[in-house]
Structure 1
Amino acid sequence: MKEVRFFYVPDAQHREELPQDEAVHALRVLRLQPGDEMFLMDGEGCFCKAAVTVASSKHCLYRIVETLPQERAWRGRIHLGIAPTKDIGRMEWMAEKATEVGFDEITFLNCKFSERRNIRTDRMERIVVSAMKQSRKGWKPQVNPLCSFSDFVAAPLGGRKFICHCYEEIERKDFFTEIGRSTGDDDITVLIGPEGDFSTDEVRLALKHGYESVTLGSSRLRTETAGLSAVMMSQLARRSERALLSCRASADGEPSA
């Protein structure tokens, strides 16, 4: 069976040429030729079946054969706010795996106990795009630059907002239980602190701005593990009815739609 080739092309339906980095991969690595089939992902919920029309040394032009709108596998938006770790490789791993699981947006937080106060969003973008293509996601997660904790919690975000922390003196509820009680398509914003946790002042500031105090469980988790766990829990609680039906059909041995 011939391998299906996916490429990330923003606004794919209104273009006719692959972006430079994608063209390099198509021409030099995959050696695509005119007439070869490929699939384009616009990151906005649509795949396009396309055929190569021109394959030169630097340019790969295409013609769209069919548009394939995708259906979201989860309800509402999942937004993760997280303090980047000192070892940036751990944060890159988390962003990659969270994209494969499925979420909508990530914002990096500059907190009182943060170990890292700068981040290359361009590199994080490339990791997210690669994971999006590998996992065949219809939507590309939005990657935001580093933001101060106080500015982030003061922002007027909709839906339900949670801050995860380990302070026993501040009442906490179970995160998964709380999001499981939600109905409808409410957005979810969940905050994960640095290895030293948020400060108590930061937690209280978030509570003043409408955040709910929660825990991810009894285990002490590393920052990247906590971030991925929060995304996975949100995914489980927000899976669409279509995604659930697809999973049930697969379990029964039926092909999914």
Structure 2
Amino acid sequence: MHIFYTPDITQNTYTLNEEESKHCVRVLRLPIGSQVNLVDGKGGFYTAEIISDNPKKVNLSILQVQREFHKRNHYLHIAVAPTKNIDRIEWFLEKATELGIDEITPIITDRSERRIVKEDRLNKVITSAIKQSIKAYHPKLNEAISYDAFLKLPFEGDKLIAHCIDHEDKKYISELVAPHQKYLILIGPEGDFTSKEVNLALNKGYKPLTLGDNRLRTETAALSVCFEINYLNR
């Protein structure tokens, strides 16, 4: 199955951009008459036929469209401190997209190892992952934001903060939330959130979350949360 990401598709015909056209003709070597699939990132899954094989401008005719393709029964937003090694956050984005995630926000905390994030590069990782895993919804990647500013943003749903500081009320995800809801979960940097940051979140209505006794890397913690939420909503 050959899948192309086409976020601006609106008509019964579509022209791939030069990069995708070259990949279609030069790499995949697909001739006129071949059928391919398109995803628009908004739930549309299309079947199309190649009607011209110009390596700079491949034209497609839309044969069929499925709306809300594999629409999820919940909404997961993970706000995570970017890792110093960008490859690790790219790995998280790829795997989280494969598992299922709706929104990601890089948050800059007191102990953040990275304070600049190139969204264009990370979005390419997400786009590649939705094509590989046949997802019709493209997760939203927000611009990096300070921790304090992020906590001021509104969110209607379950809000959790995963941290390593001893806290009597910390519980597992399955003890804190129900299926088929909206979830927002905070994941801190390698050095964890500060006590001040944890208390600030708790005062904003976040519930303390434990991921177990193991000390996890940032990207591992974020991915484990993604897996647990998806398992809860299986």
Residue of structure 1 equivalent to 2:9: 12
Identity %: 39
Other structure's SS at 2:142 match: strand
Contact 1:13–1:64 (Cα < 8 Å) also in 2: no
For 1:106-125, list aligned pairs within 5 A.
106-125=104-123
For 1:121-136, list aligned pairs within 5 A.
121-136=119-134
RMSD of Structure 2 on Structure 1 (CA)? 1.5
Report the TM-score when normalising by structure 2. 0.95
CA displacement 1:119-155 (0-9 Å, x = unmatched): 1111110111111111111211111111110111110
Residue of structure 2 equivalent to 1:92: 90
CA displacement 1:57-93 (0-9 Å, x = unmatched): 3101100011123444532210010001111111101
Instruction: Give the deviation of 1:13 after TM superposition.
Output: 3.7
Contact 2:17–2:56 (Cα < 8 Å) also in 1: no
Contact 1:163–1:214 (Cα < 8 Å) also in 2: yes
Matched to 1:77, the amino acid is: Y
For 1:138-153, list aligned pairs within 5 A.
138-153=136-151
Residue of structure 2 equivalent to 1:248: none
Instruction: Give the deviation of 1:20 after TM superposition.
Output: 3.0
Residue of structure 1 equivalent to 2:45: 47
Structure 1 residues 72 and 36, CA, compared in 2 at 3 Å: closer, same or farther?
Answer: closer
CA distance in 2, matches of 1:169, 1:78: 24
CA distance in 1, matches of 2:2, 2:69: 20
Instruction: Give the deviation of 1:103 after TM superposition.
Output: 0.7
Instruction: Give the deviation of 1:210 after TM superposition.
Output: 1.3
Contact 1:12–1:40 (Cα < 8 Å) also in 2: no
CA distance in 1, matches of 2:36, 2:10: 14
CA distance in 2, matches of 1:19, 1:177: 47
1:227 to 219, 222, 225: 222
Other structure's SS at 1:190 match: strand
Residue of structure 1 equivalent to 2:202: 207
1:25 is aligned to 2:23: yes
Matched to 2:160, the amino acid is: F
Could you tell me which runs of 5 or more consecutive residues in structure 2 were left unpaired when the two chains were aligned: none
CA distance in 1, matches of 2:175, 2:192: 22
How many corresponding residue pairs?
233
Contact 2:21–2:54 (Cα < 8 Å) also in 1: no
CA distance in 2, matches of 1:83, 1:65: 43
Instruction: Give the deviation of 1:102 after TM superposition.
Output: 0.6
Report which of the two has the higher share of helix.
1
Contact 1:83–1:193 (Cα < 8 Å) also in 2: yes
Report the TM-score when normalising by structure 1. 0.86
Contact 1:34–1:54 (Cα < 8 Å) also in 2: yes
CA distance in 1, matches of 2:47, 2:96: 26
Moved more, 132-141 or 6-15: 6-15
Matched to 1:36, the amino acid is: S
Could you tell me which runs of 5 or more consecutive residues in structure 1 were left unpaired when the two chains were aligned: 240-257
Matched to 2:91, the amino acid is: W
Instruction: Give the deviation of 1:171 after TM superposition.
Output: 3.1
Matched to 2:97, the amino acid is: T
CA displacement 1:31-80 (0-9 Å, x = unmatched): 22221110001111111100011111310110001112344453221001
CA distance in 2, matches of 1:79, 1:21: 31
CA displacement 1:176-233 (0-9 Å, x = unmatched): 3222xx25x3200101000000111111111111111111111111101000000011
Instruction: Give the deviation of 1:112 after TM superposition.
Output: 0.3
